[in-house]
Amino acid sequence: MTNLSQVFQATEEYVKVIGRTHFYNGVRWLALSGGGVEFSFYGTKAEITLAGDSIALSGNNQARVGIFVNGERVIDQQVKQQLTTYTVFASDTEQQVTVKVIKLSEAAMSTLGIQEIAVQAADGIKPAPSLAHAIEFIGDSITCGYGVDDEYELHSFSTATEDVTKAYAYLAAEQLQADYSMVSYSGYGIITGYTENDQKLLTHLLPEYYEKAGKSEGRFADTLLPQEISWDFSKFMPELIVINLGTNDDSYTKEDPARQQEYAEAYAVFLGTVRRHNPQAQILCTLGIMGGRLYPYVEQAVSRHIQETGDSKVTSMRFDEQLAADGYAADFHPSQATHRKAAGKLAAHIQELISK
C-alpha cells in the first residue's frame, strides 16, 4: 500500500475523454454540456484539482461540475475559484475505484479545466473502457438540461439549476451503454435563436458552431475562446447522431409557411454538414418535447436531403410533447419526469435502429 501521491494530467494516456474537450497548457478544458473525463485506479485516495475561468470569480452563471465515484455523485459544485482541490475518495484500505468528472452546465456561460489528478495508488490511473456504442447529440436547452433542478416554471435560467445528467440525452446514452458527445446550447436554432420580437436572433445559430470545440463567454485559461478552436472530428466517431433542433426556430417561424420552409431548407443544408464530418453515422432527426409544430418540416428536410444525396441513413422521430401533469422546470422546460419519458422513447427507438 502506498501513501505517496502520484500526480497526473488529464491526457488520453490516463483518462477516457468524454465529449468535446480541449487540452491546453497542461489542463483539460471543458465547455460543452456533458464534457468530462473518466478513469479508474486501485488505491486509497484521489484528489482532483479544477481550474476556473474569469467567470468563476464574477459571481454569475459559473460552471457547474459533478464528480462521481463508483456511480455516486460525491461533488456537485459551481466553480468559484481559480483553483479548487477536491478529495473525492479516501479509504484506509485499497479499493477499486472509478471516477467520472462531468460538466453539468452548458458551454455558453462558462468553462472549467481539470488541472490535475492525484492518487495514492501503486499503479496510478488508467482510462475507463470505451462503451458498446457511441452517440452524438446536437441540441438546445432541452439537451442541456436547462432548469431541470428548479421545478418552478416561472423561474428563469441559471447554471446552478442546469444538470445535463438529468436530461433525456444523457439518460438515453446511459440506457444504451453508449459513450456520447453533446453539442448543445440553450436558445439556439437552425435559422434563428429564441426570439420574442419577431426578428431573427442570428447570434444563436448552432450550425455556425458545430465545427468548433464550443462557444462560450468563458475562455480556456482566460486566453482562448472555444469558438476559435476547430473541432477534430476524428476524436469521436459516433455510430449514430441525434439532432433535436427547432424548438427555438419555432419562436420565429410560428405559422408562417415561408419561414417554416426556410427552416426546412436550412436544416437540409445542415444535414449535409453533419454528414460530411460523419460519413458512416446514422442520423436521427427529432423534435417535439416542447412542441412539434415544425416537425413536418424536419421530415421535409430529411426527405430533401435523401433525394438530393441518396443518403438513406437519415431518419426522423417525433417526441411526445411534455404534459402539464408531469410538471415543468424553469421557463416551462421539461421536468425530470418528462426527461425520463423522452429518454425511454429515444433509447427504444435507437435500439431498433442500431440492431437492424
Distance, in Å, from the CA atom of 40 to the CA atom of 20, rounded to the nearest integer, reads 20
* Confidence grade of residue 356 (pLDDT, cut at 50, 70, 90): confident
Rg (CA), the chain: 20
Backbone angles phi, psi at 325, to 5 degrees: -65, -25
CATH code (residue 311): 3.40.50.1110
Asked if the model's pLDDT at residue 199 lies above 80, the reply is: yes
In a domain, 166, yes or no: yes
The amino acid at residue 82 is Q
* Confidence grade of residue 59 (pLDDT, cut at 50, 70, 90): confident
264 and 143 in a common domain: yes
Domain count, the chain: 2
Average confidence (pLDDT) over 351-356:
88
pLDDT, tens digit (0-9, with 9 covering 90-100), for 308-329: 999 999 999 999 999 999 999 9
Q: What's the sign of the alpha-carbon dihedral 276, 282, 287, 289?
A: negative
Strand-pair partners of 291 = 288
pLDDT of residue 355: 83
- Name the domain boundary from 127, 154, 170: 127
- Name the domain boundary from 83, 102, 127: 127
102 and 143 in a common domain: no
Name the average pLDDT for the chain. 97
- Name the domain boundary from 76, 101, 127: 127
83 and 202 in a common domain: no
In a domain, 1, yes or no: no
Asked if the model's pLDDT at residue 58 lies above 90, the reply is: no
* Confidence grade of residue 2 (pLDDT, cut at 50, 70, 90): low
pTM more than 0.95: yes
pLDDT, tens digit (0-9, with 9 covering 90-100), for 124-162: 999 999 999 999 999 999 999 999 999 889 999 999 999
Q: Which 3-state string (H, E, C) describes 296-343?
A: HHHHHHHHHHHHHHCCCCEEEEECCCCCHHHCECHHHCECHHHHHHHH
* Percentage of residues in the chain having pLDDT higher than 90: 96
Find out whether 283 and 275 touch, Cβ atoms under 8 Å: yes
98 and 208 in a common domain: no
Average confidence (pLDDT) over 277-302:
98
pLDDT, tens digit (0-9, with 9 covering 90-100), for 219-232: 999 999 999 999 99
pLDDT of residue 1: 60
- Residue 20's closest CA among 190, 232, 171? 232
Average confidence (pLDDT) over 11-22:
98
Asked if the model's pLDDT at residue 119 lies above 90, the reply is: yes
Asked if the model's pLDDT at residue 250 lies above 90, the reply is: yes
123 and 217 in a common domain: no
Range of the domain at 221: 133-355
341 and 197 in a common domain: yes
pLDDT of residue 198: 97
CATH code (residue 34): 2.60.120.260
Tell me whether strands 240-244 and 27-30 are parallel, antiparallel or unpaired. Answer: unpaired
255 and 123 in a common domain: no
- Residue 36's closest CA among 13, 10, 57? 10
103 and 240 in a common domain: no
In a domain, 228, yes or no: yes
Asked if the model's pLDDT at residue 57 lies above 90, the reply is: no
pLDDT of residue 336: 98
320 and 248 in a common domain: yes
Average confidence (pLDDT) over 92-103:
98
274 and 150 in a common domain: yes
* Percentage of residues in the chain having pLDDT higher than 70: 99
In a domain, 336, yes or no: yes
> What 3-state class would DSSP assign to 110?
coil
147 and 112 in a common domain: no
337 and 247 in a common domain: yes
Tell me whether strands 6-8 and 126-127 are parallel, antiparallel or unpaired. Answer: unpaired
* Confidence grade of residue 4 (pLDDT, cut at 50, 70, 90): confident
pLDDT of residue 3: 72
